[in-house]
């Protein structure tokens, strides 16, 4: 039976507290651009920003160049957020969607004060950069992942150069953790244009989700270890499956559930079969509410090869689940307080991960003792309202700086 941990920590910041302290200037109007609102951490983070800004009276238009792919579920939208799809209800070929998106995006940009790309790669970045240039509006980029790794993994070779140029010419780049600053500058970005605004999560929403639906049913008995995210190379679930097999072979039975869907599903299923652990590995696919299962777990594991923030680790901390994470760039070390709020293991090291899992399953008290203050810390420090205010302040400063520059240019000599 899965046990259900009852979250007990109330968030310190409420949604209405975003503008308790007014911005340094009148809130700007923002066009926030994404390629599509897929079910991933970056999309959910951008939707939360749009939600907080809209609730606070900021004029924000969320633009998604394409709708979610047929047969897939897009990121869930709060009641106040309605994205604008330039392609309407159609699913045109990509090249037509991009061309039509640029045509429709330029007038929106001209009516706004600033164009914001929701992430550091993708067509949203490139089309947003072009629209901002045509409309003569400042352009800001959210850097949500290790940019060089993201370029190599997700961007075709023919688009890497133009992607780097889009980043180098942005008026500001907002890194969601301090660890992303160095790799961003390494792409040739002016360090003076790089700022840090720590990412946040919907603390109240996570606490509510933990009890709003039952956890995923996992066959068998014994302790439950959970991993969550897209089934892709970046997330390192092959490392977790290998570690799981090592722990089972060492005589410590447990169950592993991987919440999410992705291109590597077949490889992971084959790996589990090859290692003889198919019976103890469950992959239920996309789960609308993964938090309920994370809250019910004995342990949450993040084996990623790189992360910008590691949102699922933040969610595990909020609901009080013990965490073991790969010490990748750059969120896990920040979130786990250099190991004070959980355990860190080297990247791509199945043996080290297996050792920590086995240690926890044999004696869970040390990580449970870390999880209690970690839950309080997460509620106090990770609420997204702080992030929304911080990013809005950056946008306001960029707009004010651009306006001041234009005024100086017009001043008669």
What average pLDDT is seen over the chain? Answer: 88
| 11 is a domain residue | no
Q: Which residue has 């203050």 as its token pair? A: 373
Asked if residue 392 and residue 373 are part of one domain, the reply reads no
pLDDT of residue 74: 66
Give the distance from CA 147 to its chain's centroid.
14
| 219 is a domain residue | yes
Asked if residue 322 and residue 302 are part of one domain, the reply reads yes
Asked if residue 120 and residue 161 are part of one domain, the reply reads yes
pLDDT at 93 over 50: yes
DSSP letter string, 322-337: -EEEE--TBHHHHHTG
pLDDT above 70 covers a percentage of the chain that reads 87
pLDDT of residue 11: 39
- For residues 71-83, average pLDDT: 70
pLDDT of residue 205: 93
Spatial contact of 172 and 143, defined as CB atoms under 8 Å apart:
no
Tokens (6 digits) for 163: 């992607």
Confidence band, pLDDT 50/70/90 cuts, at residue 268: very high
pLDDT of residue 402: 75
Spatial contact of 360 and 345, defined as CB atoms under 8 Å apart:
no
| 1 is a domain residue | no
| 287 is a domain residue | yes
pLDDT tens, position by position, 338-387: 999 999 999 999 999 999 999 999 999 999 999 999 999 999 999 999 99
Separation of alpha carbons 310 and 326, rounded Å: 10
Q: Provide the β-strand partners of residue 32.
A: 62, 116
Asked if residue 260 and residue 131 are part of one domain, the reply reads no
Separation of alpha carbons 300 and 294, rounded Å: 7
Tokens (6 digits) for 253: 């039975």
* Domain assignment of residue 154, given as a range: 26-200+384-400
| 67 is a domain residue | yes
Tokens (6 digits) for 312: 């699922």
Contacts of 190 (CB under 8 A, 6+ apart): 168
Confidence band, pLDDT 50/70/90 cuts, at residue 29: very high
pLDDT of residue 6: 40
CATH label of the domain that carries residue 85: 3.40.50.2000
pLDDT at 412 over 70: no
Asked if residue 54 and residue 81 are part of one domain, the reply reads yes
pLDDT at 3 over 60: no
pLDDT of residue 35: 87
Asked if residue 47 and residue 180 are part of one domain, the reply reads yes
Contacts of 3 (CB under 8 A, 6+ apart): 296
Tokens (6 digits) for 257: 């559930």
| 10 is a domain residue | no
pLDDT of residue 69: 66
- For residues 8-32, average pLDDT: 55
Confidence band, pLDDT 50/70/90 cuts, at residue 20: very low
Separation of alpha carbons 178 and 96, rounded Å: 38
- For residues 393-402, average pLDDT: 92
pTM: 0.84
Closest CA to 309 of 174, 167, 207: 174
Strands 114-117 and 60-64: unpaired
Asked if residue 213 and residue 125 are part of one domain, the reply reads no
pLDDT of residue 406: 55
Asked if residue 321 and residue 344 are part of one domain, the reply reads yes
| 113 is a domain residue | yes
Average the pLDDT over each of 37-41, 152-156, 301-305 and give the range with the smallest value.
37-41
pLDDT of residue 411: 56
Asked if residue 295 and residue 369 are part of one domain, the reply reads yes
Confidence band, pLDDT 50/70/90 cuts, at residue 180: very high
| Domain count within the chain | 2
- Write the CA distances from 150 to 73, 85, 197, 233, 385, integer angstroms: 23, 25, 20, 11, 27
Burial of 93 from C-beta contacts in 10 A (0-12 / 13-18 / 19+): exposed
Contacts of 315 (CB under 8 A, 6+ apart): 201, 206, 290, 291, 294
Spatial contact of 201 and 383, defined as CB atoms under 8 Å apart:
yes
Separation of alpha carbons 364 and 14, rounded Å: 33
pLDDT tens, position by position, 97-156: 788 888 989 999 999 999 999 999 999 999 999 999 999 999 999 999 999 999 999 999
DSSP letter string, 10-44: PPSS-GGGTTSSPPSSSPPPEEEEES---SSHHHH
pLDDT at 12 over 50: no
More confident residue, 248 or 411: 248
pLDDT of residue 1: 33
Looking at 144-250, which runs of residues are DSSP E strands? 172-175, 194-196, 224-228
Separation of alpha carbons 379 and 375, rounded Å: 6
pLDDT of residue 13: 40
pLDDT of residue 403: 63
Element (H, E) at 216: none
Phi-psi region of 142 (alpha: psi -120 to 50; beta: other; left: phi over 0): beta
Tokens (6 digits) for 411: 């001043």
pLDDT at 7 over 60: no
Asked if residue 230 and residue 313 are part of one domain, the reply reads yes
Spatial contact of 319 and 291, defined as CB atoms under 8 Å apart:
yes
Separation of alpha carbons 308 and 180, rounded Å: 7
Give the distance from CA 375 to its chain's centroid.
19
pLDDT at 21 over 60: no
pLDDT of residue 291: 97
pLDDT tens, position by position, 40-64: 888 889 999 999 999 888 999 999 8
Asked if residue 132 and residue 34 are part of one domain, the reply reads yes
- For residues 200-212, average pLDDT: 95
| 409 is a domain residue | no
- For residues 83-105, average pLDDT: 73
Spatial contact of 109 and 137, defined as CB atoms under 8 Å apart:
yes
SS3 117: strand
Asked if residue 296 and residue 189 are part of one domain, the reply reads no
pLDDT of residue 78: 76
Confidence band, pLDDT 50/70/90 cuts, at residue 84: confident
Contacts of 337 (CB under 8 A, 6+ apart): 374, 377
């Amino acid at each position: 039976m899965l046990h259900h941990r009852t979250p007990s920590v109330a968030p310190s910041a409420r949604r209405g507290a975003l503008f308790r302290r007014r911005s340094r200037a009148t809130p700007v109007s923002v066009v926030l651009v994404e390629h599509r609102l897929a079910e991933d951490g970056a999309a959910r983070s951008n939707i939360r920003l749009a939600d907080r800004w809209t609730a606070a009276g900021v004029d924000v238009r969320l633009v998604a160049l394409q709708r979610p792919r047929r047969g897939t579920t897009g990121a869930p939208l709060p009641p106040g957020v309605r994205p604008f799809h330039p392609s309407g209800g159609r699913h045109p070929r990509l090249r037509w969607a991009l061309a039509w998106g640029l045509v429709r995006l330029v007038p929106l940009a001209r009516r706004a004060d600033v164009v914001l790309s929701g992430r550091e790669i993708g067509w949203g970045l490139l089309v947003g950069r072009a629209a901002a240039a045509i409309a003569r509006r400042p352009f800001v980029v959210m850097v949500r992942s290790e940019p060089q790794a993201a370029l190599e993994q997700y961007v075709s070779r023919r688009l890497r150069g133009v992607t780097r140029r889009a980043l180098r010419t942005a008026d500001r780049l907002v890194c969601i953790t301090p660890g992303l600053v160095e790799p961003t500058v390494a792409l040739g970005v002016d360090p003076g244009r790089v700022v840090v605004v720590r990412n946040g999560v919907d603390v109240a929403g996570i606490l509510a989700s933990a009890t709003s639906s039952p956890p995923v049913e996992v066959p068998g008995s014994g302790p439950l270890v959970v991993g969550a995210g897209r089934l892709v190379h970046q997330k390192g679930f092959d490392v977790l499956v290998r570690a799981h097999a090592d722990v089972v072979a060492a005589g410590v039975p447990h169950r592993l559930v991987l919440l999410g869907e992705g291109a590597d599903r077949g490889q992971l299923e084959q790996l589990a079969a090859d290692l003889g652990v198919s019976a103890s590995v469950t992959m239920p696919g996309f789960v609308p509410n993964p938090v309920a299962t994370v809250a019910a777990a004995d342990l949450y594991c993040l084996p990623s090869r790189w992360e910008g923030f590691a949102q699922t680790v933040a969610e595990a901390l909020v609901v009080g689940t013990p965490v073991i994470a790969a010490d990748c760039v750059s969120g896990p070390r920040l979130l786990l307080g250099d190991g004070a709020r959980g355990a860190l293991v080297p990247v791509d090291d199945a043996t080290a991960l297996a050792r920590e899992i086995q240690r926890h399953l044999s004696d869970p008290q040390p990580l449970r003792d870390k999880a209690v203050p970690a839950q309080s810390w997460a509620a106090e420090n990770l609420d997204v309202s702080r992030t929304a205010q911080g990013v809005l302040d950056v946008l306001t400063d960029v707009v004010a700086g651009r306006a001041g520059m234009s005024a100086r240019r017009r001043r008669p000599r």
